Amino acid sequence: MGNTQVSVVRLDFVFGYGDEGLPDHGWGCVYRCVQTVRRFLKLPYRSVQTMYKACYNQDLDLKDGKASVMRWIEPTDIKKQGLMSVGTGLYGTVTDDCGRCLLYTPPSTKVQSFLQRYPQRSKLPDFDERLLRPKDLVDFVRDTIESGRPLIVDDKVCSYVVWGIGAGKVRLGDPHVLEPTIRTHRSLDIKEFVRKPWMIYEPSVAHAINI
C-alpha cells in the first residue's frame, strides 16, 4: 500500500442525483454510477427508469408511496440484470459479458450483518470473488484502473465510481454531489478506503476495447 504511483482513467463526467429532472435523491446512486461507467466505456445510454424496470419488473412510479430504500439496487444487480450489457434493451443476453462482482471484507467485518443492512438484495453466492486483505483490494483496484476500466463500489449506503488510485488517495466520482462540475473531485485516503467493506462491480475486460 506504500506504492506512490498514481493510476487513473480519464473520467470527465459523472451522472448524479437529479439529472434529466428525475428526483432520485437518496436512492439512485448505483443507477447513476452505471450510467457514468456506460458513458465512459462508450456503451449506449440507459435511463434510470429502464434499469429500474429490469431490476424490479415494473415501471418506476415516484408517487407510489414506497420508501426510497425500496428503489435501491446494488452492484450485484448490475451483473444479474445485465445493466452493463452492450445492447439497448432491458436485459443483457447470454452472449454479453456483464462483468464481475466482488466483495471486500476487512477482518473486522461481520459479513452477513453487512449484507443484511437495509433491503437484502445481495447474498454471498452472488459474488464471484472475495477480497480479504487491504493489499488485495488496493492491488485489484490498481490493476483494474490500469486496464482502462473504472469500478463501481458500494458500502451499502453510498455508491461511487473509482477512477484513480495512488499517492495515498482513491479518486472517486460521486453521484451524490449536486453540482455536476465537481462530482469527479471526491477522494478518500487509502487507509480509510480499506477499513470499510465494499461491494464492487468490475466491468468486463471486453468493454475496455471501446475506449
**Confidence (pLDDT) at 210:** 52
pLDDT of 116 over the 90 cut: no
Per-residue confidence (pLDDT) for residue 95, from 0 to 100: 45
| Structure confidence by residue, pLDDT tens digits, 53-98 | 999 999 999 888 776 778 899 999 999 999 998 764 455 454 457 8
d(CA 167, CA 120): 35
Q: What percent of the chain stands above pLDDT 70?
A: 91
Q: What is the pLDDT of residue 9?
A: 96
Cα(25)–Cα(2) distance, rounded to whole angstroms? 37
What is the Cβ-side half-sphere exposure of residue 40, based on CA atoms within 13 angstroms? Answer: 28
Helix (H, G, I), strand (E, B) or coil at 201: strand
Handedness of CA 30, 101, 113, 155 (dihedral sign): negative
pLDDT tens figures, 145-197: 999 999 999 999 999 999 999 999 999 999 999 999 999 999 999 999 999 99
Residue with cell 429490469: 54
pLDDT in tens, 33-53: 999 999 999 999 999 999 999
Q: What is the CATH number of domain 7-210?
A: 3.90.70.130
